Amino acid sequence: MPRPELQFSKKRVRKAGEILRSMSITPDQIEEVAEALTIAENWRACHSYALQRATMGLRSRVMTSTGERGDVSQRLKRIVTIIDKLHREPTMKLDTMRDIAGCRAVVPTVGAVRLVQRQWQKSFQADRILRVNDYIKSPRSSGYRAVHLYVIYDDLPVEVQIRSHLQHAWAITLEQIGGRLGFDLKSGRGPQEILDYFALVAEAMAIDESGDDVSRELAVSIKAARLKIQPFLESTQHPPTSSR
């Protein structure tokens, strides 16, 4: 595949990010915004080559370390999500955003997640691994668990997500419920009752997956939290009010 060329300077990519961040548009800014959008799209497209290489790398590492294919996919971040991220994180710059390109492996167990992670760290130049976010050891407040590696291909970062089947099932359910209710639950936005339920459930699922027993207190908390989210679940026949 031909490697897409960045048609603008990095400085202009950053400026494009600033424009997209502000987005309070007067008529004379419309052209500027349109151009910023074009630049952001081109910047994203430039990541496709790096992403493809990372995805191939992930596939082969899953195979090497677990002896199985696992499930591996890739995605380029949606433009609206990029803009949303610029809004949410005021210090974020478009030219240094690290998860415009992302690939994901879903493997059977947490043990397999660790094998794939170690395989990356063993077989990839250390200076091309920008960062490792170990959300198994330190889960996000939402309860999200996985390992994320930020790796460099072709001078561009790619986010590599490695999840176990159970961790993935949790994350997918959170997205589905968020979509149904119209909340971006995975960013911690939405009714506290729902966020609390998912955080507790993630903890219990991690304990289940480790082979230990869920404590009585946790089981009781989950039951109580489940009752509190029932009204939200019953209301989802109505279309959500907004979504990302």
Partner 1 sequence: MAQESLKHFLLVFDHKSASIQDIQEFGEDTEVAVAAYSETERRYTHDQMIEVVLIGSDSLDTVKRTHANYFDGTVALSKYLIDL
Residue 126 tokens read as 């250390």
Is 65 an interacting residue with respect to partner 1 (CB under 8 A)?
no
Six-digit token string for 162? 């490695």
Q: Write the interaction track for partner 1 spanning residues 131-170; mark x where CB under 8 A is met and - where it is not.
A: ----------------------------------xx-xxx
Q: Is 204 in the site for partner 1 (CB under 8 A)?
A: yes
**158 contacts 51 by C-beta, under 8 angstroms:** yes
Give min distance, CB of 97 to partner 1, in A: 17
Binding of residue 52 to partner 1 (CB under 8 A): yes
Does the footprint of partner 1 cover residue 86 (CB under 8 A)? Answer: no
Cβ at position 191, least distance to partner 1 in Å? 14
For residue 84, give Cα distances in angstroms to 15, 76, 78. Answer: 16, 15, 10
Specify the residue, 74 or 117, whose C-beta has the smaller distance to partner 1. 74
Among 175, 189, 213, 235, binds partner 1 (CB under 8 A): 175
User: Which residue in this structure is represented by tokens 């080559």?
Assistant: 49
* In the complex, minimum distance from the CB of residue 146 to partner 1, in angstroms, rounded to a whole number: 12
Q: Which lies closer to partner 1 via its Cβ, residue 129 or residue 166?
A: 166
Please, which residue, 47 or 91, has the CB nearer to partner 1? 47
Rounded-to-integer distance, Cα 120 and Cα 158, Å: 13
Can you give the length of the chain in residues? 244
Report the alpha-carbon angle 209-185-89, nearest 5.
115
Interface with partner 1, residue 243, by CB under 8 A: yes
Q: Shortest distance, CB of residue 91 to partner 1, whole angstroms? A: 26
Segments in 126-210 forming alpha helices (H): 165-181, 192-210
Residue 130's closest CA among 105, 103, 145, 148?
148
Q: How many C-beta neighbours within 10 Å does residue 51 have? A: 23
**Binding status of residue 240 toward partner 1 by CB under 8 A:** yes
Could you tell me the smallest distance in angstroms from the CB atom of residue 98 to partner 1? 19
A 10 A CB-CB count for 237 gives 6
Single residue of 21, 85, 104, 145 touching partner 1 by CB under 8 A: 104
> Residues near 109 by Cβ (< 8 Å), separated by ≥ 6?
164, 165, 209
- Which spans of this chain sit near partner 1 (rule: CB under 8 A)? 1-2, 4, 41, 44-45, 48-49, 51-52, 55-56, 59-60, 63, 71-76, 78-80, 104, 106, 165-166, 168-170, 172-173, 175-177, 179-180, 182, 201, 204-205, 208, 222, 233, 239-240, 242-244
